[in-house]
Amino acid sequence: MLVIRLLRIGRKNQPSYKIVVTDSRRAPRGGRFVAQVGSWNPLSKQRILKKEEIKKWISKGAKPSDTVYNMLLQEKVIEGKKIDVHKKSKKEVDKTA
């Protein structure tokens, strides 16, 4: 199964990410990914997305990770509801139950 996920690049304390399409069973190390469909620099808040290619890969069955899914929602590439990425603590779960 294909997945659209983040691949961390950059030096220590200077993160930068490539948005890549890869097989879900393998980590995209060393350039082993199917396609690069964008990049994200969290320090400068710069996002570069190849919207047409992302839509093409999603139509072929690629599933975006939760973080990438929320990023695509913000850029209005896809539509839907935001996914909670961070897990709730046990204290918060006990209060709601």
CATH at 45: 3.30.1320.10
Give the three-state DSSP class for 35.
Answer: strand
pLDDT, position 22:
93
pLDDT, position 90:
77
Alpha carbon distances (Å) from 23 to 26, 35, 72, 80: 6, 11, 20, 24
6, 16 contact by CB (below 8 A):
no
The burial of 2, by beta-carbon neighbours within 10 Å (0-12 exposed, 13-18 middle, 19 or more buried), is given as middle
Q: Which segments of the chain have a pLDDT < 50? A: none
pLDDT, position 97:
64
Residue-number span of the structural domain to which 76 is assigned? 2-96
Count of domains forming the chain: 1
